[in-house]
């Protein structure tokens, strides 16, 4: 199932909207130009295999995990949380995170629909990049194992990392493309959609399990432009709603 969300001037049938048009002085019948797509990696380009809840419990402890989870309904930003810790405590936390990430690398699988979508993007000469809060080593293994290359591809070594928009703005600058000609695709509302919105890009939330609903968008103040339940649905969104000419 594919959902069109916040930009009311776009619809899968391109019907006129009474809402105001805020981007690029679009007319009702015009399509926004799209020249690049930037993807999250874990849970977007790859099948989700990391048990993040178990990771957070290991890093934070059960009581602290429950407290932070209750205060953060859209999800825990573990990297941001441990930044204020002492160096020794940080090191131990990063080692724990690395252990879970290694388990994920060992089980790495490409998400169904990714290869076909990348082939479509290549056929339209649309650039594709990658932003992850995982490490560069994981990106390198992904590239080597599946031979689907994204460039630029930024790991958490690039600071500040998502949800800060700087990684996405960096990629737009490297491509010499405006952010409003780019789409950010990811499975995290608080990281990927926040990053895309902050940069001024289009956003597409991959929600395979129906994890997110209107209440989540309302509480977070983050409403993606599109929401899909599989990567295979994105090509139709691009073809229907955007000008894909080089």
Catalytic residue among 42, 191, 192, 207: 42
* Residue 216 designated active-site: no
Query: Could you please report the per-residue DSSP string of the chain?
Result: -EEE-S-TT--TT----SSPP-STT--TT--EE--EEEE-TBTTTB-----HHHHHHHHH-HHHHHHHHHH-TT---HHHHHTTS-HHHHHHHHHHHHHHHHHHHHT--BPTTHHHHHHHHHHTT-EEEEE-SS-HHHHHHHHHHH----SSEE-TTSSSPTTSSHHHHHHHHHHT--GGGEEEEES-IIIIIHHHHHHT-EEEEE-TT----HHHHHHHT---SEEESSGGGHHHHHHHHEE---
Q: Apex CA 128: angle with CA 226 and CA 146, to 5°?
A: 105
* Residue 187 designated active-site: no
Catalytic residue among 40, 187, 207, 216: 40
- Strand order through the sheet with 202-206: 2-4, 226-228, 202-206, 182-186, 36-39, 127-131, 153-154
- The residues assigned a catalytic role are 40, 42
């Amino acid at each position: 199932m594919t959902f069109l969300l916040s930009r009311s001037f776009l619809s899968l049938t391109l019907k006129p909207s009474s809402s105001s048009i805020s981007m690029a002085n679009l007319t009702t019948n015009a399509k926004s130009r799209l020249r690049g797509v930037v993807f999250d990696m874990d849970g977007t380009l790859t099948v989700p295999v990391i048990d993040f809840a178990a990771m957070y419990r290991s890093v934070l402890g059960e009581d602290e995990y429950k407290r932070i989870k209750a205060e953060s309904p859209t999800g825990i930003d573990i990297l941001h949380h441990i930044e204020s810790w002492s160096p020794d405590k940080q090191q131990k936390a990063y080692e724990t995170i690395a252990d879970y990430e290694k388990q994920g690398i060992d089980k790495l699988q490409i998400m169904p629909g990714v290869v076909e979508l990348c082939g479509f993007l290549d056929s339209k000469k649309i650039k594709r990049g990658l932003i992850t809060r995982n490490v560069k080593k994981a990106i390198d293994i992904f590239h080597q194992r599946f031979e689907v290359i994204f460039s630029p591809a930024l790991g958490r070594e690039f600071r500040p990392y998502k949800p800060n928009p700087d990684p996405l703005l960096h990629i737009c600058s490297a491509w010499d493309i405006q952010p409003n000609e780019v789409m950010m695709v990811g499975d995290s509302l608080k990281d990927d959609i926040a990053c895309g919105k902050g940069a001024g890009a289009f956003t597409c939330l991959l929600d395979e399990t129906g994890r997110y609903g209107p209440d989540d968008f309302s509480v977070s103040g983050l409403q993606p432009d599109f929401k899909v339940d599989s990567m295979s649905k994105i090509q139709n969104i691009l073809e229907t709603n955007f000008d894909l000419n080089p």
